[in-house]
Amino acid sequence: MNDLAGKHIVLGLTGGIACYKAAELCRSLIKEGATVQVVMTEAAQQFITAVTMQALSGRPVSGSQWDARETNNMAHINLSREADAILIAPCSADFMAKLAQGRADDLLSLLCLARPLEKVPLLLAPAMNREMWVHPATRRNATQLVADGATVLEVGTGDQACGEIGDGRMLEPNELVEDLVAFFQPKLLAGHHVVVTAGPTYEAIDPVRGITNLSSGKMGFAIARAAREAGARVTLVAGPAHLPTPRGVQRIDVKSAADMLAATVTAAADATVFVATAAVADWRAAQSAGQKIKKDGSGRAPTLELVENDDILATIAQSPRARAAELFCVGFAAESEDLLANAQAKRLRKGVPLLVGNIGPATFGRDDNTLLLVRADGVESLSRAPKLDLARKLMAACAQQMSQQP
């Protein structure tokens, strides 16, 4: 996927050791389809060379307002008008103070001040010592910058170049790219709280064996990311899935179906959207053995009594808030045959306004999928695409259907 295709990003570098991350950041932005124009302050050039950034961006680096390459001598105007966004990474404490005061004594601060506010967003990735980050002056400057229309991104926590540990590290390049991609997505779910279940559940038979399935959790994690990109607050209730948590998403790890039900009921108490993507085990052992069940040499398998797990989707969909249309519920059906008929029947049985069907064996573990959106008024097919693309389309479909509810 090229989520930034067609976007032109001005990447500003200010003085700080985090400049070393700018090389990977530049390369990652280009891999996502963006064109990148690097602008460096004089201090930034003490940490990384313009030659490096030119080689990675494929463009000459800008650093001076008096650059003779600009025929009109207006580098600050030209650069800011061409940009779809300006990203300052790293953004030092000094540069934050400069922007908050409206100063413009170098090319980078000048083009930030000259940018059309309504057309060219300004995103800042702070990078500084932990004491500088929590200093009242920096906090005031950050508040002022947000009030002036800039987006001040989070900082990372961990080891710092000075040897101290704490907040103030610049986010990693992959995190910054994910934040920038999210920034450009339509905020169709702003103000909503979306709860997503994802992955399989594991039902213990004994301490070393259990009942589970082949779900990787990739679709649910993609939906959580897409919901966050759409502006929602997102809670992800994840069964055993070895996937990184999407940026800005609260993750609750669970193991069994009972664990998932309890966590989901709590999380959905103030949610407005619930998406039941998890492949929850229908059955569990009536009694889990305290020790490993061993072969006894008879050749006969032990008898395993199964009991049915509570239905998480039905429980949430039949709750008072869902019945009052305060909670929009979306179910998933992972079928192996007769997808349309089974999905339509499941939507009615669960009592949900939207049921998403897919063929489980054809999607488990894959990075792409095909989906069937089943509503009371019709069916919509989403052709094979990366799961994140499908997740974004699903979130848009949810937003549209909720807007049409009485």
Q: Catalytic residue positions?
A: 162
Give dist(CA 379, CA 364) in Å, integer.
23
**Quick one: which H or E segment has residue 40?**
strand 35-40
The letter for the amino acid at 401 is: Q
DSSP per residue over 244-295, as a string? Answer: PPPTT-EEEE--SHHHHHHHHHHHGGG-SEEEE--B--SEEESS--SSPPPP
CA dist., res. 227 & res. 388, Å (int): 10
The answer to whether the CB of 330 falls within 8 A of the CB of 356 is yes
CA–CA dist 390, 402 (Å, integer): 18
* Strand 283-285, strand 203-206: pairing: unpaired
HSE of 322 in the Cβ direction (CA atoms, 13 Å)?
A: 22
Residue 8 forms beta bridges with which residues? 35
